[in-house]
Structure 1
Amino acid sequence: MKFQIFAALCLLVVCAECKYRPPELTYHQDSNHHGRHRENWVHRDEANEISTVRPRNNYRSDPPDHTKLIPMARYVLHNADWASVATISSLSAIQGFPFSNVKSVVDGSLANSTGIPYFYMAPADFTARDLTRNSRATVQVSLEETRYCENQKWDPEDPRCTRLMLSGKMKRLKEGTPEYTFAKAALFERHPAMATWPADHAWFVAKLKIAQIAMVDWFGGAKYIPVKEYLAYNYTGTEILDRANKLHTEVTYV
């Protein structure tokens, strides 16, 4: 009798387990930056979603050696998504004071770096209003934006965390010119949200005509780079495009 009761209980447990079937799992292998593989188990109903696993080192690529000043300068600007733009304020309360603003920036398309900072502005913006009275500006970008300094455990003010300062005059590009078309396409490529910004804000494209390049690149004080050599340097800046392609191939669909 005891055996029959025990057998009946076992049968009930087995039947209960048969009624509940957990979501099927699917296996993915993602390569990390050391060449090893990492296991990812995800529910099958989530398998078509883009993987949100981020690489352990999420900076875009290793920068050039710090002794290579021009490659480093071009690298830092091309890999920056935003810049601090300093102008001479036109606000009545602080007229003539330095004024800094954050602006989205590109120096060309993902695969075509020019070394020239391009911006998308509206006349009502602080920066644009200042520039109508005084076109002089300084644009600063940092290697910290790539997350490389963070990965090295360097403070953003550490001299090894390169800071690039481009000074000159801001110029509004004439709409319809080849440079305008190129710059606007590059801005929208890197910053796709720009395409959705209100059309009634009279947006325009501006570039910095560089007069001086200063860079804090390592210990020993600032370095100054000849503008002509900086602009003439043949740098395609494909590391961003390469990274985008790499991330695309790492996404697994089932």
Structure 2
Amino acid sequence: MDTIFTIFIVLALGLYGECKWQNDEQFHHYQNSRRSTANHMPLYQDKTTTIPDPPDHNKLIPMARYVLHNTDWASIATISVLPAIKGFPFSNVKSIVDGSLANSTGIPYFYMSPMDFTARDLAKNSRATVMVSLEETNYCEKKGIDPEDPRCTRLILSGKMRKVRDNTTEYTFAKAALFERHPAFANFPPDHNWFVAKLKIAQIAMIDWFGGAKYLSVRDYLAYNYTGLEMLQHAQSQAPVTHMT
């Protein structure tokens, strides 16, 4: 009986070891896959890395364009259609770009599905407010500035959301920029009827120093020639080094 019990234990341990080895192998394959994907993500995977500091706070339009271009996500407020809070403000987080890494437009672009809270609200009422913060870079943290401190710039864009027409030059540009900045989009479920949307800006408010909000001219903001090359340079500096053999 002891011999049979011993054989059973050995077989059980062997089976466990084999299963564990297979699971570990799958886990490591998954981890390596995730690391490979992460290597292609250009933004702030490591907050100890940095980009050039923002413009002087007195340079309002350069600061506004800098903050939008160098942030990865936005808080977006809409008017809710959910039955329990119909007509209430409702806030959500959306990934954002204002163009490619090397070509800032100042226009917020989004990748949306009609299944999302925000898209459902916008289908009924296209008005929205988008907010981005300098806190999303490592500048405020590096300087020991709280996110609510007015020196940690907040850019607040209000307007109406518009769907970008498929197969147009703008659609091709915006979608490529979204996928460049957010490569995970390529793995999103294809049956969710994704579309590209943009905010047609009506008002620009910004908190970037003491003394209250500043209001910027939309025309001057969009006309400002800002390429955002510091974003591209940062991405290139974080790219993995390939050694020739």
Aligned to 2:173: 182
AA aligned to 1:73 is A
Q: Distance in 2 between matches of 1:154 and 1:211?
A: 30
Cα deviation, residue 228, structure 1: 0.2
1:108 maps onto 2:99 in alignment: yes
Aligned to 1:125: 116
Higher radius of gyration, 1 or 2 = 1
Aligned to 2:11: none
1:194 maps onto 2:185 in alignment: yes
Show CA shifts across 1:52-103 (max 9, x none): xx98842322001100000000000000100000000000000000000000
Aligned to 1:244: 235
Show CA shifts across 1:160-185 (max 9, x none): 00000000000001100100010000
Cα deviation, residue 245, structure 1: 1.6
* 1:176 match: secondary structure: coil
Equivalent of residue 68 in structure 2, options 68, 71, 77: 77
Aligned to 2:211: 220
Q: Distance in 1 between matches of 2:119 and 2:239?
A: 37
AA aligned to 1:80 is T
* 1:62 match: secondary structure: coil
Structure with the largest fraction of strand:
1
List alignment gaps of at least 5 residues for structure 2. Answer: 1-38, 40-44
Aligned CA RMSD, in angstroms, stands at 1.6
Task: State the 4+ residue runs in structure 1 displaced beyond 3 angstroms.
Answer: 54-57, 251-254
Aligned to 1:170: 161
Cα deviation, residue 247, structure 1: 2.5
AA aligned to 2:68 is L
> TM-score under structure 2 normalisation?
0.79
Equivalent of residue 59 in structure 1, options 41, 50, 58: 50
Cα deviation, residue 209, structure 1: 0.1
* 2:67 match: secondary structure: helix
Cα deviation, residue 252, structure 1: 7.0
AA aligned to 1:81 is D
Aligned to 1:147: 138
List alignment gaps of at least 5 residues for structure 1. Answer: 1-49
Q: Distance in 2 between matches of 1:167 and 1:55?
A: 31
Structure with the largest fraction of helix:
2
Q: Distance in 1 between matches of 2:186 and 2:73?
A: 17
AA aligned to 1:157 is E
Count of aligned pairs:
201
Cα deviation, residue 188, structure 1: 0.2
AA aligned to 2:71 is A
Q: Percent of aligned pairs with the same residue?
A: 73
